Structure 1
Amino acid sequence: MKRALLVIDVQNEYVTGNLPIGYPDVKESLGNIGSAMDTAAEAGIPVVVVQQAAPETSPIFARGSEGFALHETVAIRAHDHLVEKALPSSFAGTGLDDWLAARGIDTLTIVGYMTQNCDESTARDAAHRGYAVEFLSDATGTLAMSNRAGSVTAEELHRAVLVVMQSRFASVATTAEWIEAVRGDGSDALEKPNIFASTEAGRQAADA
């Protein structure tokens, strides 16, 4: 296993801007993102920082704005590669896949924002490209959504995506569990996703 840590869109827009993270508490997720970056640096795991960019007239992530800037949690820490993107997946139009392949990376650990948007899109894309994916539940986050299709709280949305990720696309873990796995001898590897086991457990829970 050769990991890289993807730190996705940890920008001021999600902290003091127009997209304030609602769940988990943003201070908690930012602290865990910092811990994951520090652990990666100690373990020699490459850190890739991903930054969303939009035109200067955009209400969010406008290039050059305060919201566009990386949050200090990320800005004060070293990284090995910076990716600027315009679409949800960190792979779309960025050359990230080539950068990872050149370094023999086969496992991606995802932290950052938002859970169901850029995090999930990147995780699905990575899985389809053959990477093993790890998704840190308390180092990611989102906010409430409401549109013509319905409404969902930030917590409901976050938890639902975690269940979907663990069912097929990623090993979901807390930051503490991931740090233990990184520092361990491999015997405490994270549980792999299994769609049959997830659906079987779901049926049993529904019948109970």
Structure 2
Amino acid sequence: MTATNLPAINLHNTALLLIDIQNDYFPGGAMALHQSEQAAAQAARVLQGFRRASLPVIHIQHEMVGDRGFFLPGTEGQKIHASVTPEADETVVVKNYPSSFLRTELDQLLEKQGIKHLVIVGMMTHMCVNTTVRAAAEHGYGVTLIGDATATRDLILDGESVPAEQVQRAMLASVIGFFAEVTTADGFLQQHKLI
């Protein structure tokens, strides 16, 4: 991951988007991801940096439509993880699809706040994070993706397992350039003096 020398962004029109950091993605949850605790710890560091600087924070919370076995409405697994619990003045947007923009008020909220750039962390890298990053770019937002603050899982292709580490690297690489700049929590926080 590229950790330094990223294009400068204006933090005054930037918001942090935390995608689906919810209990079902953690050990003991219905859809535990590879290294979700480590990713959440990095996301929490970025969140604290935004809070210290009084910058906008938006939490995305997935609510499953139909019974897919996780993120079921009203369950403990659907709740946002304690490591990034929203504060009273932070917005929570509930979504039902991989894109945080599809059939939600997210775009209107960002436009109302004058947001031009999104810093994105969350889960799953290959699904809701990837989809939202691409949708954000298509909506005209600049995007910085904090790669080590995202997590995914092993996938299956033609009966063969694709390890989570490979899925993670491929998904991060796939958005570099047109869709997003990719960095680390340390790289971002140091570059913007949010530590």
- Please indicate the TM-score interval, normalised by the length of the shorter structure: 0.7 to 0.9
Q: Which amino acid aligns with 1:111?
A: V
Matched, 1:68 2:78: yes
Provide the secondary structure at the position in 2 that maps to 1:63: coil
The match for 1:89 is 99
The match for 2:17 is 6
The match for 2:31 is 19
Contact kept, 8 Å, 1:7 with 1:110, in 2: the verdict is yes
Q: Which amino acid aligns with 2:186?
A: A
Which segments of structure 1 move beyond 4 Å, counting only runs of 4 or more? Answer: 76-79
**Residue 79 and residue 49 in structure 1: after superposition, are their counterparts in 2 closer, same or farther (change >3 A)?**
farther
The match for 1:53 is 63
- Calculate percent identity across the aligned residue pairs: 34
Structure 1 regions of 5+ residues with no counterpart?
Answer: 185-208
Structure 2 regions of 5+ residues with no counterpart?
Answer: 1-9
Distance in 2 of aligned mates of 1:161 and 1:67: 25
- Post-superposition CA distance 1:65-84 (Å, at most 9, x none): 11111110122655521100
Distance in 2 of aligned mates of 1:84 and 1:112: 14
Correspondent of 2:187 among 174, 177, 191: 177
Q: Which amino acid aligns with 1:144?
A: D
Number of residue pairs the alignment of both structures matches: 182
The match for 1:135 is 145
Contact kept, 8 Å, 1:43 with 1:182, in 2: the verdict is no
**Residue 76 and residue 6 in structure 1: after superposition, are their counterparts in 2 closer, same or farther (change >3 A)?**
closer
The match for 1:39 is 49
Bigger share in helix: 1
Distance in 1 of aligned mates of 2:139 and 2:52: 27
- TM-score normalised to structure 1 length: 0.82
Distance in 2 of aligned mates of 1:132 and 1:58: 32
More relative contact order in 1 or in 2 (CA 8 Å, sep 6+)? 2
Distance in 2 of aligned mates of 1:82 and 1:31: 19
Distance in 2 of aligned mates of 1:69 and 1:80: 15
Contact kept, 8 Å, 2:18 with 2:122, in 1: the verdict is yes
- TM-score normalised to structure 2 length: 0.87
| Rg (Cα) greater in structure | 1
Deviation at 1:3, TM superposition (A): 0.8
Contact kept, 8 Å, 1:56 with 1:64, in 2: the verdict is no
